[in-house]
Amino acid sequence: MNEVIWKRAIEIGEYIRDTHSTVREAARIFGVSKSTVHKDVTERLPKIRPQLAKLVREILDVNKAERHIRGGEATRRKYQKAT
């Protein structure tokens, strides 16, 4: 069982590295919760592949810095459809 979790953590890390996706997007693709994705890439991945974990952390930091923009865009689209 533990091996499955470690493999998932690596796959999620590689997916985020390759696509620059958000935690939510990765969770949707892998069929797990946001909490699981976050735990996999912040706690498990550094123990397995530290260099990959560092790249993923940088991507997640950028995503976090841009999230207010994404939220504003989603709200704008929502109200444009309403009118």
Residue ranges for the chain with pLDDT beneath 70: 1, 83
Do 23 and 33 form a contact (C-beta atoms < 8 A)?
no
- pLDDT for 72 equals 75
Segments forming the whole domain that contains residue 30? 2-82
Structure tokens, 43: 């706690």
10, 48 in Cβ contact below 8 A?
Answer: yes
Query: How far is it, in rounded angstroms, from Cα 40 to Cα 5?
Result: 8
The pLDDT, as a whole number, for residue 25 is: 95
Domain count, the chain: 1
